[in-house]
Structure 1
Amino acid sequence: MKDEQPGFDLARLLTERGSERYELHTRHLNHQLPRMLHTLGFDKVYERAEGAYFWDAEGNDYLDMLAGFGVMGLGRHHPVVRKALHDVLDASLADLTRFDCQPLPGLLAEKLLAHSPHLDRVFFGNSGTEAVETALKFARYATGRPRILYCDHAFHGLTTGSLSVNGEKGFRDGFAPLLPDTAIALGDLDALRRELKRGDVAGLVVEPVQGKGVHASPPGFLREAQELLHRHKAVLIADEVQTGLGRTGDFYAYQHEEGVEPDLLCVAKALSGGYVPVGATLGKDWIFKRVYSSMDRVLVHSASFGSNAQAMAAGLAVLAVMEQEETVAHARRTGDLLRERLAGLVGRYELLHEVRGRGLMIGIEFGRPSSLKLRSRWTMLQAARKGLFAQMVVVPLLQKHRILTQVSGDHLEVIKLIPPLVIGEPEVDRFVTAFTAVMDDAHGGGGLMWDFGRTLVRQAVANR
């Protein structure tokens, strides 16, 4: 009898080496990530997660108001999505032969298109940035034009094509030359008209609610932009990678504005169920038929792992759960409650400038205070690096109240809340109570918070 092969024991590996997580990252991956986490005191060791919560080794719970940058729309380890993945693995499907047509991609495409009935076809990739890359390629080929317009402060991904329509200079520096592009201000129809008159614009890519800073497109902008684009034979690309699948209280964020029907639509993140990366580009029939114009061009745009069975099963399970649990309506109600309770604090705290957003995508912006004592401290932070006060709020939310949040972008005094869409009133209560305590501490001159501010100032100055 032959000796049995040892196989692979994941549980044993994690038990033996899991404590090395930060050292392994420092040695083999992005060495600046553990450095940043140590500086902020974010170097926690999370042992498990479920729904909208993490737990550490001591059993302390942490409320997740970040959702993995929006990936965990249904929270972590939703039982329906887990079962779908077990089922598809147990089915031993003949996946990714590349010379057949499996049913799952068609079924997921059918479900997605039902939420955008003006669109006809879907391309499946593996991420949000791939979904954007697909839209850029399709727009350029279908129109025969090279240039893509985008908006200031936009974020559409970090691969070369999507980086070309990234509105943040810090991401673009050092990676040129990029695709021909032009930025306009979100809502600036005059700038859009000027660029379209040049006759070389393939399309405009836009987030209906920008992730950086949480700025919604002005009322009427998307509809009027769509009319201008079509008049000049260009297309509207809606990037719903973060805003789609219920995040803003409608299935897609563009649906907040009547009469808007994008020609191309990008989704990803939450479609994965938090398990298997997936991206999708939905588009009009005429665009797809121009790109795939003959059998010779059948593979002119493809992805090695696109439409894989695990990703398709996860996506189908996510959409089923959203329908059964009425996730979109729940996100709208919970988002309204959270935003209203936070907005009620604006008059109470001079450092709190504005609360804005849609659904469970909320921006909390801080601004220059009026009192002399706080103004001098604010000025000190701003002189070192804009965005430090928002970071000063994020840190005690985690350290003292075990709530994970993020600053909404580099040099922005904005905290962005994009929690799992499954949170309810208890989580709203917990966040508002914690945020109020942090604001009380900041306005009362709390020593620990402002001491940490001085640490951030020293770090910012050292990095110049």
Structure 2
Amino acid sequence: MTTEFDLGALLAERGAERYELHTKYLNHQLPRMLHTIGFDKVYERAEGAYFWDADGADYLDMLAGFGVMGLGRHHPVVRQALHDVLDAQLADLTRFDCPPLPGLLAERLLAHSPHLDRVFFGNSGTEAVETALKFARRATGKPRILYCEHSFHGLTAGSLSVNGEDGFRDGFAPLLPDTAVPLGDLGALARELKKGDVAALIVEPIQGKGVLQPPPGYLRAAQDLLHQHKALLIADEVQTGLGRTGDFYAYQHEDGVEPDLVCVAKALSGGYMPVGATLGKDWIFKKVYSSIDRVLVHSASFGSNAQAMVAGLAVLSVMENEQIVANARVTGELLKSRLAALVDKYELLADVRGRGLMIGIEFGRPSSLKLRSRWTVLQTARKGLFAQMVVVPLLQRHRILTQVSGDHLEVIKLIPPLIVGEREVDRFVDAFTAVMDDAHSGSALMWDFGKTLVKQAVANHYGRFCL
């Protein structure tokens, strides 16, 4: 039987053109970057925490689609739920009814943060942040948003205004009125609040760029300061939420922290459907939706669609039934402790930090003359190249996908699917140890690749060059 659209036939006929199609029609720099660093792999299928190429070789995913694949790829429960909702042929997105699925998902989400009362559903993490910024300004009547240096909250105009990395902001000004404050600096926060125009502070409980944590007690103290000045605390849990750090939300690691607004997305999707959510207190929502005339003052055309809601419900069900949060806590501690044990062994390894299955591996200036001279060459060309030198052999020689944690950072970030266990920990630690052995032995293969990166960095005039 033939159909008007045959996906299998289309991919069989045109799938090999993937890099050429991207070069011609999409972001032409992406395939260029992937070719340059040897990441131009062709993956045929994926399941759980693994990919497979056309030759049947498996690759361990320690990136989880930048945190989207919290349950790994193609979890059978989420997949079946999506088949079921498609088969149900619901009257979805009529926009003049109140379907049950958004209410049911909101109820399940709010159960994990009982101090919050209502949810707005959008389509992504950056939309969740945009919602929080708008709601905070409306609720407080103040214009300015504070954010932390080195933060990342998204790339749309509002979320870009609270992005702590200049490289993302360059060329897109003017943005919203905003001010960056150092993460953990209560004095800087207090000085800005005294100006009387601050609506909120948005903060990642653990920053994704560099995997940086504020000092203990900072979030609670910041919350108290904000409330004294009638400003709000916004917790951006887009990457850290839904079990990533070994608790359902990362802010829950600190007693007494109850953000006024919480942004979630990524893992809530199950890796299938774009979905974002902004959770907030009742009084904030009632300020925004203050009358019938304002019923659509903030909305999203595809927000609360049935497929996204079902994906979220299925994800939360799996998390509970398969004890995903507990696994992230236990497996994350195992991985972090085994990596931390290597710090004294390798002079290029400076620090291992993080919570749960969000771990940063930082490299630093070595002490021996031979390694120090090579390190200096890399740092002179562009900071972050050594971390890239580690990421590449992890993929090419050990078939493990990781990422450099941010531009100009000598940090690798590990955010694998939350279903990984001891087998994946063993595989990563063994591979990482082998790469570190090569680097410290002066392996020509590894350091010659470093020369390639230096040439590329110089050719790009020190432009952005990281994953």
> TM-score category by the smaller chain?
over 0.9
Deviation at 1:217, TM superposition (A): 1.7
What secondary structure is seen at the aligned counterpart in 2 of 1:116? coil
Q: Does 1:294 find its partner at 2:291?
A: yes
Which position in structure 1 is the counterpart of 2:448? Answer: 451
Q: Which residue of 1 aligns with 2:38?
A: 41
Please give the per-residue CA displacement for 1:140-185, whole angstroms capped at 9, x wherever unaligned. 0000000000000000000000000000000000000000000000
Which structure 2 segments of 5+ residues have no match?
Answer: 462-467
**Alpha-carbon displacement from aligned partner over 1:176-231 (angstroms, at most 9, x marks no partner):** 00000000000000000000000000000000000000001210000000000000
Partner of 1:58: 55
- Whether 1:212 and 2:236 are equivalent positions in the alignment is no
Q: Which residue of 1 aligns with 2:347?
A: 350
Provide the rounded CA distance (Å) in 2 between the counterparts of 1:6 and 1:325. 39
Matched position secondary structure for 1:306: coil
Q: Deviations over 1:274-322 (max 9, x none)?
A: 0000000000000000000000000000000000000000000000000
State how far apart, in whole Å, the 2-side matches of 1:391 and 1:125 are.
Answer: 34
Alignment of 1:434 with 2:460, yes or no, is: no
Q: CA deviation at 1:90?
A: 0.2
Partner residue in 1 for 2:114: 117
1:266 alignment counterpart:
263
1:415-426 aligned within 5 A? 415-426=412-423
Letter in 2 for 1:124: F
Corresponding position: 1:320 with 2:317: yes
Equivalent position amino acid for 1:83 in 2: Q
Residue 131 of structure 1: how far off its partner (Å): 0.0
Q: Please give the residue correspondences for 1:313-392 in structure 2 after superposition, counting only pairs within 5 Å.
A: 313-392=310-389
Q: Is residue 63 of structure 2 the alignment partner of residue 75 of structure 1?
A: no
Name the amino acid aligned to 2:235. Answer: A
Alpha-carbon distance between aligned partners in 2 of 1:228 and 1:286, rounded to the nearest angstrom: 20
Alignment RMSD, CA only?
Answer: 0.6
**What's the counterpart of residue 161 of structure 2?**
164
Q: Which residue of 1 aligns with 2:396?
A: 399
Separation in structure 2 between the aligned mates of residue 102 and residue 328 of structure 1, nearest angstrom: 29
Report Cα offsets for 1:44-79 as digits up to 9, x if no partner. Answer: 000000000000000000000000000000000000
CA distance in structure 2 between the partners assigned to 1:463 and 1:316 by the alignment: 45
Structure 1 residues 419 and 184: alpha-carbon distance in aligned structure 2, compared to 1, 3 A threshold: same
Question: Which secondary structure state, in structure 2, belongs to the residue aligned with residue 216 of structure 1?
Answer: coil
Residue 138 of structure 2: aligned partner: 141
Residue of structure 1 aligned with 2:243, choices 235, 241, 246: 246
Correspondence for 2:228: 231
- Counterpart CA distance in 2 for 1:232 and 1:218 is 22
Q: What is the aligned partner in structure 2 of residue 84 from structure 1?
A: 81
- Counterpart CA distance in 2 for 1:18 and 1:172 is 35
Runs of 4+ in 1 over 6 A off after TM superposition: none
Of 451, 454, 462 in structure 1, the residue corresponding to residue 459 of structure 2 is 462
2:281 to 273, 281, 284: 284
SS class of match (2:244):
coil
The offset of 1:7, in angstroms, is 1.2
Q: How far, CA to CA, are the matches of 1:179 and 1:35 in structure 2? A: 33
Distance 1:10 1:217 in 2: 48
Secondary structure of residue in 2 paired with 1:210: coil
Match among 103, 107, 110 for residue 106 of structure 1:
103
Distance 1:134 1:112 in 2: 17
Does structure 1 residue 17 correspond to structure 2 residue 35? no
Q: Per-residue CA shift, 1:349-369, capped at 9, x if unaligned? A: 000000000000000000000
Secondary structure of the residue that 1:209 maps to in structure 2? Answer: coil
Equivalent position amino acid for 2:347 in 1: E
TM-score where L is the length of structure 2 = 0.98
Amino acid at match of 2:384: G
Q: Output the CA distance in 2 between the equivalents of 1:98 and 1:18.
A: 37
Between the aligned partners of 2:330 and 2:274, the Cα distance in structure 1 is 28
Shift of 1:5: 8.1
Aligned-partner Cα distance in 2 for 1:318–1:369: 44
Equivalent of residue 153 in structure 1, options 141, 147, 150:
150
Q: Tell me, in whole angstroms, the C-alpha distance in 2 between the residues paired with 1:218 and 1:72.
A: 29
Alpha-carbon distance in structure 2 between the residues aligned to 1:286 and 1:148? 19
Distance (whole Å) between structure 1 residues aligned to residue 17 and residue 381 of structure 2: 34
TM-score in terms of structure 1 length: 0.99
Report sequence identity in percent.
84
- Return the alpha-carbon distance in structure 2 between the equivalents of residues 326 and 52 of structure 1: 17
Q: Distance in 1 between matches of 2:305 and 2:40?
A: 34
Which amino acid in 2 is paired with 1:267? V
1:131 alignment partner in structure 2 = 128
Instruction: Give the superposition deviation at 1:400.
Output: 0.2
Deviation at 1:6, TM superposition (A): 4.2
